[in-house]
Amino acid sequence: MSAAGPTSPSARDPRVAQSMALGLALVVAAMLFALIGLVFCGVAAYLSLLPYLEPRWSALSVGGGALALALLVALIGRLIMKKSINRLVAWVKSSAVVAVAPYLLRFAAKHARLVGLASAAGAAFFAGRSKD
């Protein structure tokens, strides 16, 4: 364990960091290709509406449709995130560690010597049991 905290898996194995970087690069490339595809679909929709509407109305309808789709996706994402956050909050509130932690901290603050003695005894016990 370093001074900054426990070492991450990527610090121990450079292949993990490389595979994560490759995965991220592929996701970014996929997003760029999807964006290019959406632009082409927008241009195709604009061109298909030109025989029926004036050019500015055609462009306005394609842009409005894209904004409506973006709003719909954002609302669905927000609902999903809200449900996830509510489940996470409920899980944390029902966690035994979160429920017991204030009482344990209050006990440790009141009985610091006893906690220190128990910690030292536990450390000595496990140090004596180790095979090294």
Q: pLDDT tens digits for 53-64?
A: 898 998 889 888
CB distance 20 to 10 below 8 Å: yes
Residue 122 to residue 115: CA distance in whole angstroms: 10
What pLDDT, on a 0 to 100 scale, did the predictor assign at position 9? Answer: 53
Residue 132 to residue 125: CA distance in whole angstroms: 14
The 3-class SS string of 105-126 reads HHHHHHCHHHHHHHHHHHHHHH
Domain residue ranges of the chain, discontinuous segments joined by +: 1-49
Residue 69 to residue 13: CA distance in whole angstroms: 42
What pLDDT, on a 0 to 100 scale, did the predictor assign at position 85? Answer: 81
- Would the pTM of this model clear 0.85, i.e. be above it? no
Write out pLDDT tens, residues 67-121.
898 899 889 888 888 888 888 777 777 777 777 777 778 887 888 888 788 888 8
